[in-house]
Amino acid sequence: MNERKEIFLRAYKAGAAHLASSFSLVEILRTLWLGGVLAYAPNDPRWEGRDILILSKGHGALAFYVVLHEAGCLSREELDSFCLPGSLLGGEPHVGECPWVETSTGSLGHGLGVAVGMALALRQDKKPNRVYVILGDGECQEGSVWEGAQGACAYGLDNLTVIIDRNRIQKMDFIEHITGPDDLGGRFAAFGWDVKDCDGHDEGALKAALTGNWEIGKPRCLIARTVKGKGVSLMEDAPGWHFRMPNRRELKVFCEELNITEEELEVCKRPI
């Protein structure tokens, strides 16, 4: 499956989505769900043996839904209904709608704190399940992220892994233009985490990092270096694409670079 093409077509049908943020996440999510990293049962989203994934940067939800479909967890009909009336799949993940959502996100900075509580509960229950949480690097400006980071270290939660989508851009501009240069890996290490980094678009490197050796007794942080808008030249490293759809001229570039046909666009205009 061409996930980026699928993401765009679902957004085109709905009329809106955080395209660039979703495009930077594709390989991270593919590695987790399709690369043998997460334990899950496609027919049972509440299987007790599952690992937990929290998409704290909830505006990347469309990439999450597309990969869930590819993993056999969502039907074609469910995916095609993204952000349409009556759909289970909203623009950001909400508990009680999509059954694969572990906690509601979208208001940034809360995912890690929830993940810390889940990881602590699993350890107290002596369960082997792991907890993964995906953070945006702009999101890491939230103080609640660092409260969670400190708590995870205090409890020695080595069953918790943070993956940072390090695309260097937040909503309005490059992060370094807003808050100055920032060594996120160094900061997590200073909070007592075991830290690695890799190319966030290289699934082999992602899997090797996530399943490799980590220090016992420390929570884990993987800095995944990505390109916001990866896959479409107009969007790559362009802050203005945080939340917008292409105009008519730009649409031609999307179609050419994502191999989208006129017929596929027409199909998106029809009701499901």
What pLDDT is stored for residue 198 in this prediction?
98
Grouping H, G, I as helix, E, B as strand and the rest as coil, residue 75 is: coil
What pLDDT is stored for residue 31 in this prediction?
98
Topology adopted by domain 3-269: Rossmann fold (3.40.50)
How do the domains of the chain map onto residue ranges? 3-269
C-alpha to C-alpha distance for 219 and 153, rounded to whole angstroms: 6
Look up tokens 């989208």; give the residue. Answer: 260
Q: Which of 56, 51, 75, 57 is nearest to 65 (CA)?
A: 75
What pLDDT is stored for residue 42 in this prediction?
97
Q: What is the pLDDT of residues 95-126, one digit of tens each?
A: 989 999 999 998 999 999 999 999 999 999 99
What's the order of all strands across the beta sheet hosting 131-136? Answer: 52-55, 131-136, 160-166, 220-225, 194-199
Q: Which residues pair with 223 in a beta bridge?
A: 164, 197
Q: What is the pLDDT of residues 131-153, one digit of tens each?
A: 999 999 999 999 999 999 999 99
Q: Which residues pair with 133 in a beta bridge?
A: 54, 162
C-alpha to C-alpha distance for 41 and 87, rounded to whole angstroms: 23
Q: Using an 8 Å Cβ cutoff, are 172 and 198 in contact?
A: no
Rg of the Cα atoms in the chain: 18
Residue type for position 74: L
Q: What is the pLDDT of residues 232-251, one digit of tens each?
A: 999 999 999 999 999 999 99
Encode the chain (272 residues) as per-residue pLDDT tens digits.
799 999 999 999 999 999 999 999 999 999 999 999 999 999 999 999 999 999 999 999 999 999 999 999 999 999 999 999 989 999 999 998 999 999 999 899 999 999 999 999 999 999 999 999 999 999 999 999 999 999 999 999 999 999 999 999 998 899 999 998 889 999 999 999 999 999 999 999 999 999 999 999 999 999 999 999 999 999 999 999 999 999 999 999 999 999 999 999 998 876 65
Structure-token pair, residue 3: 């996930």
Number of helices followed by number of strands (H, E) in the chain: 12, 5
